[in-house]
Every structure is written in structure tokens, then in C-alpha cells.
């Protein structure tokens, strides 16, 4: 249990008002109902894409990823990147949460 707390502090995970903040530049909204085991994968997927986005932009500001469950079976992901003084948006709906996140992040990377 103590290890988990240390890990959260190390990764700068902060949860407030239903939002989860990762490292100050990543905000996850609507993910509070996602199982803890799936959240580990979600954070890794988003973290890997954010690294790619930081590499492709000169002035990376933030990423906001919003999850909405549609009809109890589909996941709607709205992702927004603020970088280079611009805003890049993508929305994807899929039955698989991980595919939805990956497809939304791929769309944003394609716009950069």
C-alpha cells in the first residue's frame, strides 16, 4: 500500500472534481468509473502518445482527454491538444476503450 502511494506521488497523479491530472500537463476527465486495472493501461497509452506529441511540437502546453460512456457499451473519447498556440481536437466512439483512445490520439498526431 505504501508503495502505491509513493508511485502516485512520483507520477504526479492528482485527482480533483472527477478529473485526474497526470504530471500537470495531462488531464483525464470522466475516467473515475474505469476499473483500476484498466486505468494502468489507459495511463500508459496516453503517456506514450503524449511523448510523441511533445516530440512533434515546439510549444507543448497540455492534453485533455474526456471519456463518456454511451449506451453502457460504447466509449466516446474527446481529446484536445494545446500546442504551438493552436488547439487540435479529435473525437472517436468505439466499443473498446483502448482502441478509442489510440484512434483519437492518432488523429491528433495526424493533425500536427
pLDDT tens profile 36-67: 999 999 999 999 999 999 999 999 999 999 99
Looking at the structure, give the CATH architecture of the domain made up of residues 2-111.
2-Layer Sandwich (3.30)
Query: In 3-state terms, what secondary structure has residue 1?
Result: coil
Could you read off the pLDDT of 9-41 as tens digits, one per residue? Answer: 334 555 566 789 998 899 999 999 899 999 999
pLDDT for 21? 93
Please tell me the distance from the alpha carbon of residue 107 to that of residue 94, in angstroms, as a whole number. 14
- Please, where are the H alpha helices in the chain? 2-10, 36-56, 97-111
Q: Average per-residue pLDDT in the chain?
A: 87
Please tell me the distance from the alpha carbon of residue 99 to that of residue 63, in angstroms, as a whole number. 18
Amino acid at each position: 500500500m505504501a508503495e502505491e502511494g509513493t508511485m502516485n506521488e512520483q507520477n504526479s497523479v492528482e485527482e480533483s472534481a472527477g478529473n485526474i491530472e497526470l504530471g500537470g500537463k495531462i488531464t483525464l476527465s470522466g475516467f473515475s468509473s474505469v476499473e483500476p486495472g484498466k486505468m494502468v493501461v489507459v495511463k500508459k497509452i496516453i503517456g506514450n502518445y503524449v511523448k510523441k506529441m511533445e516530440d512533434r511540437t515546439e510549444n507543448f502546453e497540455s492534453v485533455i482527454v474526456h471519456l463518456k460512456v454511451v449506451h453502457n457499451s460504447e466509449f466516446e473519447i474527446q481529446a484536445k491538444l494545446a500546442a504551438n498556440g493552436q488547439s487540435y481536437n479529435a473525437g472517436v466512439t468505439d466499443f473498446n476503450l483502448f482502441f478509442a483512445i489510440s484512434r483519437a490520439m492518432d488523429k491528433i498526431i495526424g493533425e500536427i
